Amino acid sequence: MEPLRRDITYWIAGTIVSLVGVAIVKLMAPSIQGNLAKWLAALGYLLSLGGIGIIAMHIRKNRKEGGVIKEEN
């Protein structure tokens, strides 16, 4: 679990971004009328999946820069 603890900022950031996205989709968008609601919902979905993407991208980036690969070399 060591690498997980080391990258905790990115894990938290990614999770928060995703949850903000969920909040936009489930809470904000339904309370707004018209086209803005659709755009907000789309933004929310993107943020939610983007948050997961942040975590995924960081795991790879971090490993390549200073993690397992460098240690192995």
Residue 40 binds other proteins, judged by CB under 8 A: no
Smallest distance, Å, CB 37 to other proteins?
A: 14
Eight-class DSSP state of 20: H
Considering the rule CB under 8 A, would residue 29 count as an interface residue with other proteins?
no
Q: Are 69 and 63 in contact (CB under 8 A)?
A: yes
How far, in Å, CA of 64 to CA of 52, rounded?
19
Q: Smallest distance from the beta carbon of 36 to other proteins, in angstroms?
A: 19
Instruction: Decide: 65 and 7 in contact? Cβ < 8 Å.
Output: no
Tokens 């938290």 -> residue: 12
Interface residue list for other proteins (CB under 8 A): 1-4, 11, 14-15, 18-19, 21-22, 25-26, 45, 48-49, 51-53, 55-57, 59-60, 63-64, 67-69
